[in-house]
Amino acid sequence: MQDGNIRVTPATAAASAASGMTGGPAVVCAGLEKRYGEGATAVHALRGVDLTVQRGELLMLVGPSGCGKTTLISVMAGILDATDGTCRILGQDMTALASRPRAAFRARNIGFVFQAYNLNPALTAAENVSVPLRICGAPVREAMRRAEAALDLVGLGDKTESAPGDLSGGQQQRVAIARALVHEPQLIVCDEPTSALDHANGQRVMELLRRVGTVDGRALVIVTHDARIFDFSDRIAELDDGRVTRVGTPGAARHSSGPSSAT
Ligand SMILES: Nc1ncnc2c1ncn2[C@@H]1O[C@H](COP(=O)(O)OP(=O)(O)O)[C@@H](O)[C@H]1O
Ligand SMILES: [Mg+2]
């Protein structure tokens, strides 16, 4: 199956304008803060994150459990409100958008692979993958055809009719990855996309993400603990206690204690 088989065009000119095809960086976080709760029990998950991801770049985000990785990518994807600071995605300040336009922007421009997959158990694999296309306004048959092509790309062409409950963890993870790619978003964000995959499938998924996730000015941000996939990245950002402590090349990260000691 060719990559070109998962292709969607913006439904409206306004949506296209809102897609932020500005040529600037894909992600610019500046002074990003996130606090959960108030007062003495507040958890300060992000403590001033400055981070830029260029178009065409695959950036990995590493760090110990609880350091704020999921929080950071959730703010990037507009799933979570920041407490302070700004996060511009494709030129759009996510922190300035109200929830409805933010959800519309996210549906069109961002693919998100959740750590727990978040598949709908009542839908087949293909129906799950078709959801972003349906949200973008694609007709059912076209959405299903593209969903099946995307499943084929992740090696699940024979599982299109399966319910998530009938799939292994690794297969569910690949369904979630197909769903994040199917609408060809400009930014793909993945929370531990290879954690349930064996070595061969992990490499295969990373080759696919690398191939389709960074072409045409797209960008990819991947949270991972999996040192086997570091070499697929352009840069690795290390996060500790809500701050970016270092940004470097995969080779440098491999020799530091940060990523390899992460749990
Ligand atoms: N919904 C929440 N409510 C309160 N605290 C949270 C919530 N989500 C995460 N946290 C806390 O914020 C910190 C960062 O969490 P998280 O972003 O999930 O880290 P990581 O993905 O690096 O493991 C942790 O201390 C975690 O317990
Ligand atoms: Mg996490």
Q: What local confidence, expressed as pLDDT, does residue 214 receive? A: 87
In whole angstroms, give the CA distance from residue 94 to residue 160: 34
Which residues share a beta bridge with 223?
61, 191
Q: Determine the longest span between alpha carbons in the chain, in angstroms.
A: 54
Residue 221 in domain: yes
Q: What local confidence, expressed as pLDDT, does residue 231 receive? A: 94
Question: Using an 8 Å Cβ cutoff, are 197 and 166 in contact?
Answer: no
- Looking at the 3D structure of the chain, how many domains does it have? 1
Q: What local confidence, expressed as pLDDT, does residue 257 receive? A: 46
Residues 6+ apart with CB under 8 A from 100: none
Which residues share a beta bridge with 246?
238
Q: How far does the centroid of ligand 2 lie from the alpha carbon of residue 94, in Å?
A: 21
* DSSP symbol at 30: E
- The identity of residue 192, as a single letter, is E
Residue 89 in domain: no
Residue 92 in domain: no
Residue 258 in tokens = 């940060």
- Domain of residue 225 covers 3-22+54-80+98-261
Residue 88 in domain: no
Residue 30 in domain: no
Pocket of ligand 1 contains residue 43 by CB under 6 Å? yes
Q: How far does the centroid of ligand 1 lie from the alpha carbon of residue 45, in Å?
A: 6
Nearest to 54 by CA among 20, 87, 90, 86: 90
CATH code at position 168: 3.40.50.300
**Ligand 1 atom closest to residue 37's alpha carbon, by position in its atom list:** 4
Alpha-carbon distance values, 243 to 28, 78, 167, 237, 253 (Å): 15, 19, 37, 10, 16
- pLDDT tens for 10-65 read 333 333 334 444 568 999 999 999 999 999 999 999 999 999 999 999 999 999 99
Residue 185 in domain: yes
**Ligand 1 atom closest to residue 191's alpha carbon, by position in its atom list:** 21
Q: What local confidence, expressed as pLDDT, does residue 99 receive? A: 86
Residue 40 in domain: no
Mutation to probe ligand 1, out of 38, 70, 81 (largest number of atoms < 8 A from CB)? 70
End-to-end CA distance of the chain: 36
Reported residue count of the chain is 263
Residue 58 in domain: yes
- pLDDT tens for 212-224 read 888 888 999 999 9
Q: Which residues surround ligand 2, an ion (CB under 5 A)?
A: 69-70
Low pLDDT (below 70) residues in the chain: 1-23, 252-263
- The identity of residue 222, as a single letter, is I
